[in-house]
Amino acid sequence: MNIDLVKSQIESHLNKKVVVTVYGLRNKIQRYEGTLYKTYPNIFTILTDGVEKSFSYNDYITGYIKVKIL
C-alpha cells in the first residue's frame, strides 16, 4: 500500500463521519467516533466531542489503526 494513495483516500472523505479503531499493546483496543477534520503531510485528525485526535498514515498502513467511513 502506498502512502500517497492512503493520503488521497482519506482526503476524499474530509468532513465525513468516521470510526477509528486503535489496536494497542496487550490487546488493548480503543475506538473513536467523530468527523474527519484535517489532513497534514504525515497525520490526519478527527474531531470527537470537541477534542481533536491525530493519527498517522503509517499506522494505518501497518494495521495499527483501522478507519471506517460511516
Q: How many domains does the chain have?
A: 1
pLDDT tens column, 35-64: 999 999 999 999 999 999 999 999 999 999
Q: Which amino acid makes up residue 62?
A: T
Helix (H/G/I), strand (E/B), else coil: 1? coil
Q: Look up the CATH number of the domain holding residue 49.
A: 2.30.30.100
Q: Exposed, middle or buried: residue 9 (CB in 10 Å: 0-12, 13-18, 19+)?
A: middle
- DSSP assignment letter at 24: -
pLDDT for 1 = 74
The share of the chain scoring above pLDDT 90, in percent, equals 91
pLDDT averaged over every residue in the chain: 94
Q: Which amino acid makes up residue 1?
A: M
pLDDT for 2 = 86
**What is the domain extent for residue 15?**
3-69
pTM above 0.95, yes or no: no
Q: Looking at residues 3-10, what average pLDDT do you find? A: 93
